[in-house]
Amino acid sequence: MSRGTDRSGADRPATVSASRRCPFRGVVMGASAGGLDALAGVLAELPATFSLPILVVQHRHASDCSDFARFFDGHSLLAVLEPCDKELIRGGHVYLAPANYHMLVERNGTISLSLEPLVHWSRPSIDVLFESAASAWGTDAIGVLLTGANADGAGGMRRIRAASGLTIAQEPATASSRTMPEAAIRAAAVDLVLPPAAIGRFLAGLRQKEGGP
């Protein structure tokens, strides 16, 4: 990897070598304020043949009954759904954390939903999802942190990077709220910094690890 410096002065890798582009087992994404548009921008770039599972935490109120899956379904060629507890993770699917539940990746290839206490005032929490992916997938995890107004996700990005997974943050200048991606960049937890559409195109060039998630 070659290294670059962002505008805050923190060192971070500017590129990822072709040899590190594969294989991976799955993608976890987190977003908060302004996240619907950013997530839609990423998903719109993924082809119907995209083979990795994507698990998404978008901060939402506990009582939120919005049909987020239907919204994203109109911006994605992949199947988009809210999972049930213990649901098997399948490639080519986008799983949205339900309101008021943490969502975790389990080592047996399933999703678990939890009512454990709020993290960063949030349930679902991005950190909870990212830390579980680091534990379950290790070096084969990809973490993507998008726009948001608090520091949720920075700790999870550090865990994924410590496990030698790949971490990507939204370019703060393109974010509705810069706080979340900037927190991860300041923590030296980010490999790539890209706008949403470019994140989608980068992911589209990846392939799934043999044996699936």
Among left, alpha and beta (phi > 0; psi -120 to 50; other), residue 212 is left
Q: What is the pLDDT of residues 145-175, one digit of tens each?
A: 999 999 999 999 999 999 999 999 999 999 9
What is the spatial distance between Cα 77 and Cα 71, in angstroms, rounded to a whole number? 12
Inside any domain, residue 82: yes
> Residue 35 falls within a domain, yes or no?
yes
Task: Give the 3-state DSSP-derived string for the chain, with helices as H, strands as E and coil as C.
Answer: CCEEECCCCCEEECCCCHHHCCCECEEEEEECCCHHHHHHHHHCCCCCCCCCCEEEEECCCCCCCCCHHHHHHCCCCCEEECCCCCCECCCCEEEECCCCCEEEECCCCEEEEECCCCECCECCCHHHHHHHHHHHHHHHEEEEECCCCCCCCHHHHHHHHHCCCEEEEECHHHCCCCHHHHHHHHCCCCCEEECHHHHHHHHHCCCECCCCC
Active-site residue 2, yes or no?
no
Share of the chain above pLDDT 70, in %: 86
In a domain, 133, yes or no: no
Q: Specify the residue for token string 């992916």.
A: 133
Give the tens place of pLDDT for each residue, 42-53: 999 999 999 999
Residue pLDDT, tens place only, 176-204: 999 999 999 999 999 999 999 999 999 99
CATH number at residue 99: 3.40.50.180
Lowest model confidence (mean pLDDT) among 10-24, 65-79, 114-128, 169-183: 10-24
Amino acid type, 174? T
Q: How far is CA 94 from CA 18, 31, 43, 46, 151, in A?
A: 25, 14, 9, 11, 24
Is residue 189 within 8 Å of 6, Cβ to Cβ? no
- Indicate whether 2 belongs to any domain: no
Residue 131 in any domain: the answer is no
Q: What mean pLDDT is predicted for residues 81-92?
A: 96
pLDDT (tens digit per residue) in 30-42: 999 999 999 999 9
What's the pTM? 0.88
152 is known as an active-site residue: yes
Indicate which residue of 59, 93, 102, 120 is catalytic: 59
Token digits for 95?
């799983």
Q: For tokens 């200048």, what's the residue?
A: 173
In the chain, the number of structural domains is 1
pLDDT value of position 71: 80
Asked about 8 being catalytic, the answer comes back as no
Residue 33 to residue 24: CA distance in whole angstroms: 28
In a domain, 65, yes or no: yes
Identity of the amino acid at 181:
P
Q: Which residue has the higher pLDDT, 69 or 10?
A: 69
Q: Average pLDDT, whole number, for the chain?
A: 87
Residue 111 lies in a domain: yes
In whole angstroms, what is the distance from residue 206 CA to residue 132 CA?
Answer: 21
Q: Which domain does 77 fall in, by range?
A: 29-125+148-160+178-185+197-205
More confident call, 79 vs 17: 79
pLDDT of residue 11: 41
151 vs 159: CA distance, rounded Å: 14
Among residues 93, 152, 177, 191, the one annotated as catalytic is 152
